[in-house]
Each structure stands twice: as C-alpha cells, then as structure tokens.
C-alpha cells in the first residue's frame, strides 16, 4: 500500500507539561523554554500555600513554599509568571481549586494590563483568553485535600465564576471537572465516571438555580464545562471509559438540561496519565507505562483528549528536572507527528469488545449516579462521607490485589531482579531540588509587598469582598477589585474564611470496608493474622492496647497513603488516631500527648519532610514525650531519609515499601524497641 499523502489528518491535541516551582521568575523562564521546544499550552502548578489560601509567611506554609508548584501571592507574582507571554495568544491550564476565583482574577487582570500596554481593547483581549481553571472542589474533599471552605460556599464560588466567565471570557473553561484524582484515590472506572458526572450535575444545577444565566444561554454554560481525567495502564479499559464518559455526558446534557446543540454537548476533556502507577523501583519502567497510558486517551478519535500532559519517568522519586519534562513532551510529539494515528476515523467503531465494555461501564456508572442523586447529590454524598468511604475501600482492595500478586506491577511484585539504572547514576541530581532559600526569599518578598501598598485601598477592597460574601452578590467583581488593589492570596482567603468558615472533610477511614485487611485470605490473611497477634501480645506486655497516631503535617492533602496505613493499622489491632489533613507540627504533638500514643506515623508527599518532620520530633521532646518513636512515609530521596534517621526518626518508608502488612510488622518492632521489649518475629 502506498504511503498516504492525501488523507486529512485530525488536528493534534494541546500539548502541555505540568510545571512550576520555586518562584514566579524561575517558572516563567521554564515556561518560555518549554514553549520554544514545541509545547502548545501551559499547565501551571501552584504550590500548596497558594492552593490553600495562605501567604508564604503563614505557619502552615513552612516547608511548602515553591515545592510542588509556583507561589503566587499577589498581582506582582502573576505579572512575573507570564512576563513576555502574551495571554491573548496562550492556552493556559491552571490547576487550582479552592482559590480558583482568586487566581483567575489575577490572570484576567494581567491580561487586561497587557492589553493596555499594547494599546488593545481590554474587552477584546479578554474575549480571546483560552484556557482552564480546574475549580473542582468536590474531588478535593474526596482525594487531594486542597479545599478551604465548606461545600456550600465553595459551590457558590464556582457558580459565580462560571456565570461571570461565560459572559466575559467566553472561550475560557471556568471549571475542569476532575476525575483524575478520584482514580488516584482508588476509584474504579465506574466510580470515576459516576462521581465526576455527579459533580458536573451539582455545578450545573447550582448555576441554573442561581438565576444568573438566562435560560436561552444555558447551553453556553454546558458548552464551557470541561473535564480532566486519568488514564491508567489498562489502556483498553481506559479508552472504553472515555467513550462511556462521552455517551453519558451527551445523555445528561440532552435529557436533564435540554441542550439541543450537539457541539455544546460534546465531551471535552484533557488528561494527565496515571501518576499513582509510577514506581520508585525500576523507575525506567515508567517510560513505557506513560506511553501506553497515553494511547488510551488518543487511539479512539471519537473520545480523544483535546489536551494531554504527561508525568515524567522520575515523579515517584521527586520533582522532575526540565530534561525529564522535555522527554515527556517528546513522547507526545512522536505520537502526534511521526505515527499515522491522526489520519484515520475512529478505529474502534463497530468493535463488539469495545461496545460491550463501554455498555458495562455506562450501566454501572448510571446506577451509581442514581444512588448519589438519591442521597441528595454530590455535596450531600461528600458531607455524609459516602463517596470518600467508597474510594478508601476501593483503594484498599487495589492494594490487597497488588500485595497478593493478583495485579502484577513489574519491578515491584514481580521481575524484581534488576541492573543498576543508568538514569539514576547521578544520585540526588536525578531529580530537581528546591533551595530552602526560596522560601526565605518568598517570605521577605511578601512582607515587602504588603509594606509598599496603599493600605486604605487594600482595606476597602477586603471590606467590600466580605460584605458581598454576606449577600447573594456575584463575588468575581469584588475579587477583581482586590487583585488590582494588591491584596494577597492569604488576605483574600482569610476574608472569605471569616464569612464562610473552614471545613474538615470526612476521612473515610472509620467507615471504610476492611476488604484489603481483615477480609484477606490465603497467605496474605495468614501474614496479617501473625501481625495482629504480635500487636495483641505487645499490648498485653505494656498493659494497654497499642495506639498509633497517623498525621499529615503541613499542607500536603494527598491523604491516600495515610488513609490506607490507618485502615491497615486498625485491621491488625492498633487503636488509630487519625484527624485528617493540614495539621501543624504543634497540633500533631498535642494530639500525640493527649492520646498517649505509642508511635507517631507521618505522611509527607510534598517535599516538606526536612522541615515538618524534625519539627514534630523536636516538639515531642519539648513536651516530655521524646520516647514516642516517629516513623515517616512519603516521596523521600535516600539522602533525605538518612538525614531524618540522624535526627531521630525510627523508620522511613517510601513508595517501594508497598506491603502494608509488612510495614505494620516493622511498626510493632519500633514500638517494642522504644519500650525496651525484645524484638521477636512470629
């Protein structure tokens, strides 16, 4: 067959890398380099203080500034972040949720400033702005943890932003319904589809019921709803999941909301392929995992992603370097430009296998959607803890299958013999590191920014925001006033905290099923029974039941690991103290002393371990509880683990330590060592 030269190619998807770290200036340089390499869109990673509404000098921001993204504290930082990048020509995705309205206001304000500097009409420039704010707070309560306000006020912020954006920035996607983190938290394909669509229903119902959009413009709202999905290595199943997503979205928007235009009902989604499945052991295997996962969201033309960002091979080790991100970008470019993928109609249309699996996912998701709607919708299912406990249970079952060897992970539970990886020969330099001076500079900078403002203008803007929040007024306009006045991220969030209050979501631990633990059978069940007996015997020797505190210090809200540790600890007989995310070291120490625990387990995935963990160890000593051992789990490079052990940490667990029951056995050893009991096996 001759090489086809006249076949019309589908246009490539928007190619992004998820990037941002240290400072606005450093991230701006990275963005401009990536664009020069052929990246066609930007995906901004914000640091945790920015995501949760704190300035760099707040106590909870300690150790978190610039670690997992760029700190943006005010309009000056946003100007620097997009210096020499014309926003009217950019396609920008911003992964931001609780503070989405604030970052969107900063972005729109900078775009307006760029228009004025270029002598262009501000309204025309805003009408050209293309991009996405994630702005999905429901999944934050379920998985990622960067929520701030209670569900009701959070949904109001989303509603106000959606209604304002549809009129004023019509090419912008004001919300990205995000199932990505649901899969990371354990969701099956059915749960991922169902819970994401329940979130979309909650948002669309709120927008409709707000009365801010005329009935004849509601199709425009639906047409700007986008999705952000996950794609795992089971790429046939993942491809079918996306076809099911598209079918259900078309059904819901047509039947529930009466949208008649097919273009407005189109399922529009971007994707980052699975980071949960990346391994610390034999990390070179992550390259082929990423490529296979990319196929699941690109092979089927009728359900193809319109934007793709890929993780780097070494994300299970730490922060990727620019070269690692370039590698991930080149994977996309090879697929889009060297292969013939984009030259054909959908190659799966008519496949009986695909149709059967799509139908199965659709039926399951439709039933789960109906179940959640019967509870009162997504918000009610969050507040009751139903969806969270379902995800914790699903993740426990997934871990059980991996530990039992039923699900094979190459290099982890099978084919573990290996040669040294040449990709890691540089040791610590195989990942990006953030200089601690970055945080100190950010603190000095925000203090200087506050000192240099017109305080009366700032006070008036914040007062107007608080007053508007007490009414039913749309909050975008007073937020824009705050942006122009020089208000900081922490001040904007604090003003709304005063009105809306804060929220602590259900953890899902106490109500989660023990399918991954107590229900285990075979060799896994026998091993668990042995550890359970050791926990019982050690408690008897000490004269009380063993107690473990599982803590999440700092702003890291990725609680999946902590929750699974808490569930397994409960299953082997520990009394578990788990208070959820976002705790200061002082709060963790106080809880450990009050509950008189035998061991403290800390989970840190944000890179702040060298700051927050020693603070807990020092706090326990100061409180007279220095004999309580501390263990740590997270993405912790080997040299950092050595530092933590030198500072008194009893054990450090990283992603390669996937066998939770074995971890429980080591925790029993730690308790026995701390209490001068002989360490025995069996």
d(CA 230, CA 396): 19
Chain centroid to CA 277: 14
In degrees and rounded to multiples of 5, residue 46 shows phi and psi of -100, 150
Tokens 């080591």 sit on residue: 666
Name the catalytic one among 181, 241, 388, 598.
181
d(CA 367, CA 622): 54
Six token digits for residue 636: 């912790």
User: Order of strands across the sheet with 269-273?
Assistant: 14-16, 307-309, 269-273, 225-231, 175-178
Beta bridge partners of 553: 583
Three-state SS at 604: strand
d(CA 452, CA 140): 35
Return the half-sphere exposure (C-beta side, CA atoms, 13 A cut-off) of residue 223: 15
Residues 6+ apart with CB under 8 A from 356: none
Strands 630-634, 172-173: parallel, antiparallel or unpaired by DSSP?
unpaired
d(CA 397, CA 521): 12
End-to-end alpha-carbon separation of the chain, Å?
67
Beta bridge partners of 178: 228
Give the sign of the dihedral formed by CA 61, CA 66, CA 70, CA 72. positive
Name the catalytic one among 31, 107, 147, 180.
180
d(CA 219, CA 226): 13
d(CA 333, CA 399): 34
CB 317 within 8 A of CB 431: yes
Our answer to whether residue 556 is catalytic in this structure is yes
Our answer to whether residue 609 is catalytic in this structure is no
Our answer to whether residue 598 is catalytic in this structure is no
Beta bridge partners of 132: 93, 173
d(CA 259, CA 251): 10
Q: 429-444 burial string, b = 16+ CB within 10 Å, else e?
A: ebbbbbeeebbebbbe
State the alpha helices, DSSP H only, in 338-475: 352-374, 378-383, 386-403, 437-451, 455-469
In degrees and rounded to multiples of 5, residue 26 shows phi and psi of -65, -40
Strands 42-45, 18-19: parallel, antiparallel or unpaired by DSSP?
parallel
Three-state SS at 93: strand
Tokens 């979501």 sit on residue: 505
Six token digits for residue 609: 């371990």
Name the catalytic one among 47, 57, 324, 556.
556
d(CA 283, CA 330): 18
Our answer to whether residue 552 is catalytic in this structure is yes
Our answer to whether residue 344 is catalytic in this structure is no
What stretches of 72-158 adopt beta strand conformation (E)? 91-95, 130-133
Name the catalytic one among 58, 552, 598, 609.
552
Cα separations (Å) of 603 from 505, 546, 547? 18, 19, 17
Name the catalytic one among 18, 107, 503, 658.
18
Q: Which residues are catalytic?
A: 18, 180-181, 552, 556, 558
């Amino acid at each position: 067959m001759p090489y086809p030269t006249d076949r019309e190619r589908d246009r490539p998807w928007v190619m992004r890398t998820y990037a941002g770290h240290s400072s606005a200036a450093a991230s701006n340089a990275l963005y401009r380099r990536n664009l020069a390499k052929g990246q066609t869109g930007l995906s901004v990673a914000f640091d945790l203080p920015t995501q949760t509404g704190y300035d760099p000098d707040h106590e909870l921001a300690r150790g978190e500034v610039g670690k997992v993204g760029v700190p943006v504290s005010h309009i000056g930082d946003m100007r620097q972040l997009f210096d020499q990048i014309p926003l009217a020509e950019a396609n920008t995705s911003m992964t931001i949720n609780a503070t989405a309205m604030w970052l969107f206001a900063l972005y729109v304000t900078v775009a307006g400033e760029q228009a004025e500097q270029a002598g262009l009409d501000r309204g025309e420039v805003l009408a050209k702005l293309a991009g996405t704010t994630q702005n999905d707070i429901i999944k934050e309560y379920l998985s990622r943890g960067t929520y701030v306000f209670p569900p009701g006020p959070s949904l109001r912020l989303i509603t106000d932003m959606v209604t304002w954006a549809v009129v004023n920035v019509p090419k912008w996607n004001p919300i990205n319904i995000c199932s990505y983190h649901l899969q990371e938290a354990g969701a099956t394909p059915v749960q991922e589809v169902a819970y994401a669509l329940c979130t979309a229903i909650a948002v669309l119902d709120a927008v409709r019921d707000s009365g801010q959009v005329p009935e004849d413009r509601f199709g425009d709202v639906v047409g700007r709803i986008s999705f952000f999905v996950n794609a795992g290595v089971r790429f046939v199943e993942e491809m079918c999941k996306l076809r099911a997503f598209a079918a259900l979205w078309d059904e819901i928007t047509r039947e529930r909301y009466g949208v008649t235009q097919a273009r407005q009902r189109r399922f529009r989604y971007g994707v980052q392929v699975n980071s949960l499945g990346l391994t610390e052991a034999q990390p070179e295997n992550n390259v082929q995992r990423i490529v296979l996962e990319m196929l699941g969201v690109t092979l089927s033309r009728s359900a193809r992603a319109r934007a793709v960002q890929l993780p780097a091979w070494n994300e299970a080790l730490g922060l990727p370097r620019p070269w690692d991100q370039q590698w991930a970008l080149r994977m996309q470019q090879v697929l889009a430009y060297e292969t013939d993928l984009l030259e054909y109609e959908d190659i799966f249309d008519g496949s009986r296998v695909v149709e059967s699996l799509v139908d199965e996912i659709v039926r399951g998701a439709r039933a789960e959607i109906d179940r959640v709607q019967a509870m009162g919708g997504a918000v009610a299912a969050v507040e009751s803890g139903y969806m969270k406990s379902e995800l914790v249970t699903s993740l426990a079952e997934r871990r059980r299958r991996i530990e039992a060897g039923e699900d094979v992970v190459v290099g982890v539970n099978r084919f573990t013999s290996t040669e040294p990886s040449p990709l890691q020969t540089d040791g610590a330099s195989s990942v990006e590191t953030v200089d601690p001076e970055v945080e100190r500079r950010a603190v000095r900078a925000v203090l200087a920014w506050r000192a240099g403002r017109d305080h009366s203008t700032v006070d008036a803007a914040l007062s107007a925001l608080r007053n508007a929040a007490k009414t039913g007024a749309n909050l975008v306009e007073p937020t824009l006033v705050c942006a122009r006045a020089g208000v900081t991220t922490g001040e904007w969030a604090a003003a709304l905290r005063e009105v809306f209050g804060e929220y602590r979501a259900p953890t899902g631990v106490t109500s989660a099923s023990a399918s991954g633990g107590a229900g285990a059978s075979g060799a896994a069940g026998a091993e668990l029974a042995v550890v359970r007996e050791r926990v019982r015997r050690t408690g008897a020797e000490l004269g009380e039941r063993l107690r473990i505190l599982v803590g999440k210090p700092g702003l890291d809200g990725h609680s999946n690991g902590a929750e699974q540790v808490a569930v397994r600890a409960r299953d082997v007989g520990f009394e578990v103290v788990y208070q959820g995310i976002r705790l200061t070291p002082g709060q963790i120490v106080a809880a450990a002393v009050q509950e008189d625990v035998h061991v403290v387990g800390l989970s840190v995935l944000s890179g702040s371990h060298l700051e927050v963990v020693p603070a807990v160890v020092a706090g326990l000593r100061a409180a007279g509880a220095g004999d309580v051992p501390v263990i740590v789990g997270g993405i912790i490079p080997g040299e950092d683990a050595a530092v933590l052990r030198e500072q008194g940490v009893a054990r450090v667990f990283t992603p390669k330590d996937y066998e939770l029951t074995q971890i429980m056995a080591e925790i029993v050893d730690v308790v026995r060592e701390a209490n001068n009991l002989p360490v025995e096996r069996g």
